[in-house]
Amino acid sequence: MRYSAQHKAQTRERLVKAAGALAKRQGFGTTGVDGLMGAAGLKGSSFYHHFASKGELLKDIIEQEFEGSRLLLIGRQDSSRTQLIKQTKAYLSQEHLDNAEQGVCAAALELRSGPCR
């Protein structure tokens, strides 16, 4: 049975979102295709119906994460230095590390790997 282009696009979007959350929680490189697909409730065997490679999925996850981060930060603009410090501390918080799949990707990367150099 062939699915419509709209259904395929919706499934791909769901995969990117679910795989992104799993990757932030467990790491992308250590999670196999079966695990990434399973996060969206799909079988690993259908992965290549949606992506040419695991790298293509990673590209889509990164694009989605940076767009989400951009939207989160737009709502937190304030010219006050004190407010900026508060926002940065909230952004790089233990809560984001503990719930990485709900936060922005840079916070999880920063807290897991140490300060960026």
CATH of the domain at 33: 1.10.357.10
Domain coverage including residue 85 = 5-113
pLDDT at 108: 53
pLDDT at 68: 80
Count of CB atoms within 10 A of residue 54's CB?
17
Residues 6 or more apart whose CB falls under 8 angstroms from that of 64 comprise 16, 17, 20
CA gap 82, 38 in Å, rounded: 43
Distances in Å between the alpha carbon of 64 and those of 27, 43, 89, 93? 16, 22, 23, 21
How many structural domains does the chain have? 1
Q: What is the mean pLDDT of residues 39-52?
A: 91
Q: Do residues 108 and 97 touch, judged by C-beta distance below 8 A?
A: yes
Which of 117 and 51 is assigned the larger pLDDT? 51
